A and B are shown apart, each in its own frame.
Chain A
Amino acid sequence: MRVRLCWTKQGRIRFCGHRDSARIWERAVRRADLPVSYTQGYTPRAKIAFGLALAVGQESVAEYLDVDLRLSQEEAAGLAADLPERLSAVLPEGMAVSGARPLKPGAASLQEAVTSCTWEFALGPADRGLASDWVGRVQSAESLPLERERKGRRTVSDVRTAVGGLRLADSRSGSVLVAELGTKPRAVRPAEFLRLTVPPLAAGRIRRLHQWIMRDGERYEPLAPPAGVLAPTGGAPAAAGCRAVPAAQPEVCAE
């Protein structure tokens, strides 16, 4: 039975990369003594599918992973409610599990399903005016050409439709810019977004606030029932899902 987890990565641990996180997770599931399924062969690995990679240095309150457990649907549903506490206890400081739900068989993987992410960019106290101009230029641009290199080949594509939801807000240490960036067919990375117009926008810490699955004109977070997770049954606490945050509401830096 596959279970989807929502987890966070904040503070110093943001300097650990995607591969480091994967190793931390493999040890965590063993430390928590979870009945995880393993691959066959010479080098058995825990069956954990990570979603979109987070770059070194970035924080997130909306990371997801799917882990296969050797449990029935009922057993998995029962275990899911305990997972946030059980796993958070064995994860390093800065990493915690905020929600867990079993997935319906055949549910799309995170890599396939997620269509956009909401990002928050920290701006210095003096940068508000500059950022406001920059946002205005991005919003009024008819096209947003992005030059990227992959396997030695340069391509330019217009990512205008992949950029939206721009919004500036105050935070404790200055202000933040919030933006929703598409992931299909190729994800617009936060660093790419900041150089979409000239001059580029200088930003401090970058944090992922949400991942979204857009289907039939509606969007869901990966732990919402339409994404293929099983709703809590019986007396399972409502807190089993990731805390819902309205998309348009920028998160304020919680330093």
Chain B
Amino acid sequence: MDSLWPALEPLLDEVQRPARYIGGEEGACPAPHGPGKVAWLLCYPDSYEVGLPNQGLQILYEILNERPDAVAERAYAPWGDLEALLRREGLPLFSVDTHRAAGDFDVLAFNLSSELVYTNVLNLIDLAGAPVRAADRAEGDLLVAAGGHCAFNPEPLADFVDFFVLGDGEEAVGEITEALAAHRAGGRREVLGALGALDGVYVPAAYEVSFAGASMTVAPRWPEAPETVHKRTISSLGDWPYPKRQLVPLTEVVHDRLNVEVFRGCTRGCRFCQAGMITRPVRERPGAQVRTMIEEGLRRTGYDEVALTSLSTADFSGIEQLVADVVGPADGAGGAGCPAVTVSLPSLRVDAFTVGLAAELQRARRTGLTFAPEAGSWRLRQVVNKLISSEDLEAAVEAAYSQGWRRVKLYFLVGLPTETDEDVLGIAGLARRCVELGRRHVRGASVTVSVGGFVPKPQTPFQWFGQNTVAELRRKLALLAEDLRGDRSVKLRWHDPEATLVEGLASRGDRRLGAVIEDVWRRGGTFQEWSEHFDCDLWLDAMARRGLSVEDYAYRHRSEAETLPWDHLSAGLHKDFLWQDWQDALAASGLEDCRWTPCYDCGACTGYGIEHVVASASPPAGGSQGTGHAPPVPVRLGAGRELAGVS
């Protein structure tokens, strides 16, 4: 169990940005290895800059290292230049904490947050020195695990991963550690059998998946494997104040700031949003704990920016007061000439964004403000259940401009169900309207419109929808670009439609897609999330070689009777609830947030005997709150703080 550092160090003189391989971050806390301990190598299958800030991985890293029976270290995908040197020198994937070889660990566990990292997962298993296919691994080889949002349809990676964890990992990692320690003497099959019997753990090898024409059947092969694997859900976020020691990198990474998760789960019910569906119910962190975590975190890390993370942070009970408290007293923010702490709210609902909140935020350094109307017309927003009216959006955008922002970013999806060209052009109309409102307050007001192609996700009401073709997405984007041509105050950006297609293939793929992923990896297709490395032809050629149809996987509408590849895995949502919600979507009928209205029995709470944990019994101030109607008293814009939150 020697450190590979002496062999790695000379290589680092030859690679770009070597600081990402040295470890030593403030907060790094690997426990000592020892006999009897279960050693986890937690791996983010993309570059260090993208992977280090991942909060899920950091939470599990701390929880495992606090246990007397476990040790956890971290690894990230080495960039191509270092990978080439490692392979030339016969060196394996290593941890950045103590530079141990991956093979010195018991478990190699991946966080899967995007489908485009799947080929990197294969590459990293290979670089770790284990056979890429789970079936080829022998006693003594690594156990390969994966969790994260993509684990809710793990089938495309079923051939390569020994076990998946569905849902919150806080409790599950402890149980897995104990099962591993208790059963490892019995060999690989016994270990996997014991893991598969744990709640929330899915062992693909324990299930027989067979295909006959267009139909698919799944059946347990092992007696201990349950018919359906249910996700894990922690009932109280307050019991898990992690990360307690967020890692502070020594080199620049994305989201380089303190992150404090203020709640998990979201019941706004946006039908395209997998994260909102699979993380229900809403569990708010107690306000006092949020304040402590921010205060201690800032002091410990030296950061001057904190992001309050969740799927819709403006919905947090008492958000306005919380932001005011963090930014500091109004006179001499931060005290004695010290600049105020910057607060960023990464996911903002426009109907919960008020002048008051804008006023609090602008007292510190202004970060970018992004609002996500998602669709260009009220009709289509009802289809996707993003129930914000044009008035809501205008009020939020005007609140931002009135408080000094010069540019706001608007995020939209194209390729949504029932979308017409009129809906697409509605995006341009909204953007222009926002610029017009901005000009009342600031000179040079501008809007950045960012457009993503819609990928239907498993465990959502849109899981039956056949996604738009690459050609159709291109046509719609061209339509939008043409409409906005010459308008210098609206900047249009879009996601590559070919990448949208590949995400779609993997998102709802079945076990047969594993061969495609392996094929793409063997032909050098790694780092597919990076536009300079993404290669759509690799995927299309691999599909063709395996006799699989792109039409069938991505563009085809599914029927109610069809068995979906993830039907034996449950995120808590009843399939009939999702189907009914899909029918409501097609009828352009919206559904209000169940946090503040009666239960629709989606299954997420009742199935697990848990409830929403929300400090406030009423929705946040401002906006129509999903009713589609104007608020009782209009929000007064351009006014001072004393009018904050009037609605």
Instruction: Point out residues on A near B: beta carbons under 8 Å.
Output: 12-13, 15-17, 19-20, 23-24, 26-31, 35-38, 42-44, 56-57, 70, 90, 92-94
Interface string of B313-355 (1 = CB under 8 A from A): 0000000000000000000000011110000000000000000
Question: Given the interface contacts A13-B24, A27-B301, does A92 sit within 8 Å of B336 by beta carbon?
Answer: no
Q: Give me 8 other A-B pairs in contact (C-beta within 8 A), A17-B251, A35-B337, A43-B365 excluded.
A: A16-B22, A26-B302, A42-B365, A42-B366, A57-B18, A90-B302, A93-B24, A94-B24
CA distance A15 to B16 in the complex (A): 10
Residues in B whose Cβ lies below 8 Å from that of A30: 302-304
Contact of B24 among A12, A28, A42 (CB under 8 A): A12
> Do B302 and A15 touch across chains, with their CB atoms under 8 A apart?
no
CA distance A28 to B26 in the complex (A): 11
- Chain A CB within 8 A of B299 CB: yes
Say how far B351's CB is from chain A's closest CB, in angstroms. 28
> Do A27 and B338 touch across chains, with their CB atoms under 8 A apart?
no
CA distance A79 to B308 in the complex (A): 35
> Do A31 and B300 touch across chains, with their CB atoms under 8 A apart?
yes
> Do A24 and B250 touch across chains, with their CB atoms under 8 A apart?
yes
> Do A15 and B22 touch across chains, with their CB atoms under 8 A apart?
yes
> Do A15 and B12 touch across chains, with their CB atoms under 8 A apart?
yes
> Do A20 and B251 touch across chains, with their CB atoms under 8 A apart?
yes
CA distance A23 to B249 in the complex (A): 10
> Do A17 and B19 touch across chains, with their CB atoms under 8 A apart?
yes
> Do A16 and B251 touch across chains, with their CB atoms under 8 A apart?
yes
Q: What are 5 A-B pairs with beta-carbon distances under 8 A?
A: A13-B24, A19-B252, A20-B250, A26-B302, A30-B303
In this complex, what residue of A is CB-closest to B12?
A: A15
Residues in A whose Cβ lies below 8 Å from that of B250: 13, 16, 20, 24, 92
- Chain A CB within 8 A of B537 CB: no
In this complex, what residue of A is CB-closest to B304?
A: A30
In this complex, what residue of B is CB-closest to A35?
A: B336
> Do B337 and A15 touch across chains, with their CB atoms under 8 A apart?
no
Residues in A whose Cβ lies below 8 Å from that of B26: 92
- Chain A CB within 8 A of B278 CB: no
Residues in A whose Cβ lies below 8 Å from that of B248: 27
Instruction: Point out residues on B near A: beta carbons under 8 Å.
Output: 12-13, 18-19, 21-24, 26, 248, 250-252, 256, 299-304, 336-339, 365-366
In this complex, what residue of A is CB-closest to B404?
A: A42
Say how far B368's CB is from chain A's closest CB, in angstroms. 13
Question: Given the interface contacts A38-B337, A44-B339, does A56 sit within 8 Å of B18 by beta carbon?
Answer: yes
In this complex, what residue of B is CB-closest to A28?
A: B302
CA distance A38 to B256 in the complex (A): 20
Residues in B whose Cβ lies below 8 Å from that of A37: 337
CA distance A57 to B23 in the complex (A): 15
Contact of A15 among B19, B338, B339, B365 (CB under 8 A): B19
CA distance A43 to B366 in the complex (A): 8
Contact of A31 among B252, B299, B339 (CB under 8 A): B299
In this complex, what residue of A is CB-closest to B301?
A: A27
> Do B13 and A57 touch across chains, with their CB atoms under 8 A apart?
yes
CA distance A36 to B252 in the complex (A): 23
Say how far A7's CB is from chain B's closest CB, in angstroms. 15
Residues in A whose Cβ lies below 8 Å from that of B252: 19-20, 23
In this complex, what residue of B is CB-closest to A205?
A: B13
CA distance A37 to B19 in the complex (A): 29
> Do B303 and A15 touch across chains, with their CB atoms under 8 A apart?
no
> Do B18 and A44 touch across chains, with their CB atoms under 8 A apart?
no
CA distance A13 to B20 in the complex (A): 11
CA distance A31 to B299 in the complex (A): 6
In this complex, what residue of B is CB-closest to A91?
A: B26
Residues in B whose Cβ lies below 8 Å from that of A92: 24, 26, 250
In this complex, what residue of B is CB-closest to A70?
A: B337
Residues in A whose Cβ lies below 8 Å from that of B366: 42
Most central of B248, B250, B252, B304 by chain A CB within 10 Å: B250
Question: Given the interface contacts A57-B13, A90-B302, does A12 sit within 8 Å of B365 by beta carbon?
Answer: no
Residues in A whose Cβ lies below 8 Å from that of B24: 12-13, 92-94
CA distance A42 to B339 in the complex (A): 10
Contact of A70 among B251, B336, B365 (CB under 8 A): B336
> Do B302 and A44 touch across chains, with their CB atoms under 8 A apart?
no
CA distance A27 to B24 in the complex (A): 15
Say how far A213's CB is from chain B's closest CB, in angstroms. 30
Most central of A19, A70, A90, A92 by chain B CB within 10 Å: A92
Residues in A whose Cβ lies below 8 Å from that of B19: 15-17, 20, 56
CA distance A94 to B256 in the complex (A): 22
Most central of A15, A36, A93, A94 by chain B CB within 10 Å: A15
Say how far B9's CB is from chain A's closest CB, in angstroms. 8
Which 6 pairs, one residue from A and one from B, show the smallest C-beta to C-beta distance?
A27-B302, A44-B339, A31-B302, A15-B18, A30-B302, A12-B22
CA distance A19 to B339 in the complex (A): 21
In this complex, what residue of A is CB-closest to B298?
A: A30
CA distance A15 to B336 in the complex (A): 36
Residues in B whose Cβ lies below 8 Å from that of A17: 19, 251
In this complex, what residue of A is CB-closest to B15?
A: A15
Residues in B whose Cβ lies below 8 Å from that of A23: 252, 256
CA distance A7 to B497 in the complex (A): 50
CA distance A13 to B24 in the complex (A): 8
Residues in B whose Cβ lies below 8 Å from that of A56: 18-19
Residues in B whose Cβ lies below 8 Å from that of A42: 365-366
